[in-house]
Amino acid sequence: MKELSENQTIAVHGIAGAGSVVFATAFTYPLDTMKVLIQVGSTTGKQLDAAQALSRVVFLSGNAGLYSGFGWLAVGRIFGLGARFGVYEILTAFSKDGREDNYLFPSEALLAGMASGAIETVVSSPFELIKLRKQVTSASYAPSPNFALENGTRKPLIARLLNGSGKPPAVSSVRRPSDIITLEGWSTLWRGIRSGIARDSVFGGIFFSTWQFLHQAMLDWKAVGMNPPPRLNEDVGPLSPFTVSLTAGFSASVAAAASHGFDTSRSRSQCNVLPKHMSMERKILKWKRPGNKFERMTGIHPLDRNVLFHGIGWRMARTGLASSMIVGSYLFVADQLTSILT
């Protein structure tokens, strides 16, 4: 009976978590599409504004274009956030072990959040790359499938590129998983991993440490005036779901602002098509990454220095709103399912 109860608890939290992630992702996905298009469509001399990005998507793909690639991001976020929170809970359990009140210092939350963010990048990277290319395709003039054939004499574009001839195609022509793997190789699914790890490590560390700090501050505020004064955090009682969700949203917005430069670098690198023969040439010629030491470590291309913060407002809005919705809907659904089962 006890084992059945534990399985029900796991199932409840799993369903609530997956449902809240899909719901929040669907609600905020157009914001993500706008963010991506501004990031990859801007140049040093000119930034693509929101009106231009929106009109281009609607003109070429209709309103549905704002949700191009949604399924890939939804699945990737379920696995990615599961890895992030799972690793975070495991790491912080070691820090809280032996403490009577299960207190966690913000510095400990920072380190655990950085580690969990790095794991999230590895898990979600393939889904994010395919999602991004579909988003870019929604605002691009995509050629017909037979555009590389002329009177039946030319080979398809991908076949020509695999033989080392021709220029790299546009990203809109290499958006399906099979095309990406065939032309660029499996490793492409983790392109931009350096900037991705930097982004999610910074995001995870700032998100969890800020959330922990604010959570403790709200507990201390709630404890003011209680008689007798609570000795442990558990004696204060739970905070309202609304307050917790707002705190999560604020923490996510701050973390998004701090890590946005790495997000832009990752988006722009994933938008580049690099055929296998070009990758091989770089290895043979011992090609070195351009930029200073920091840029090489984090995967930032020096040509992107002046566009790193384009689209920051859209990412802060999307991330903050999505985090609030994930936490709020998760607490609500979990509470409802638990009350039904009990």
Higher pLDDT: 337 or 187? It is 187
Q: Give percent of the chain above pLDDT 70.
A: 89
CATH class of the structural domain 2-341: mainly alpha
Q: CA–CA separation, 131 vs 126, rounded Å?
A: 9
- What's the 3-state SS for the chain? CHHHHHHHHHHHHHHHHHHHHHHHHHHHHHHHHHHHHHHHHCCCCCCCCHHHHHHHHHHHHCHHHHHCCHHHHHHHHHHHHHHHHHHHHHHHHHHHCCCCCCCCCHHHHHHHHHHHHHHHHHHHHHHHHHHHHHHHHHCCCCCCCCCCCCCCCCCCHHHHHHCCCCCCCCHHHCCCHHHHHHHHCHHHHHCCHHHHHHHHHHHHHHHHHHHHHHHHHHHHHHHCCCCCCCCCHHHCCCCCHHHHHHHHHHHHHHHHHHHHHHHHHHHHHHCCCCCHHHHHHHHHCCCCCCCCHHHHHHCCCHHHHHHCCCCHHHHHHHHHHHHHHHHHHHHHHHHHHHHHHC
Q: CA–CA separation, 294 vs 202, rounded Å?
A: 15
Identify the band that residue 152 occupies on the pLDDT scale cut at 50, 70 and 90.
very low
Higher pLDDT: 13 or 32? It is 32
**Is the model's pTM score more than 0.75?**
yes
Question: In this predicted model, what pLDDT tens digit does every residue of 158-171 receive, in sequence order?
Answer: 454 445 445 677 78
Domain boundaries, the chain: 2-341
User: At residue 194, does pLDDT exceed 80?
Assistant: yes
Identify the band that residue 4 occupies on the pLDDT scale cut at 50, 70 and 90.
very low
Question: In this predicted model, what pLDDT tens digit does every residue of 266-322 receive, in sequence order?
Answer: 999 998 888 888 888 888 888 888 889 999 999 999 988 899 999 999 999 999 999
Question: In this predicted model, what pLDDT tens digit does every residue of 69-107 receive, in sequence order?
Answer: 999 999 999 999 999 999 999 999 988 887 777 788 999
User: At residue 173, does pLDDT exceed 90?
Assistant: no
Please give the pLDDT value at position 331. Answer: 85
Please give the pLDDT value at position 118. Answer: 95
Select, from the ranges 11-20, 200-209, 281-290, the one with the highest average predicted confidence (pLDDT): 200-209
Question: In this predicted model, what pLDDT tens digit does every residue of 52-73 receive, in sequence order?
Answer: 889 999 998 899 999 999 999 9
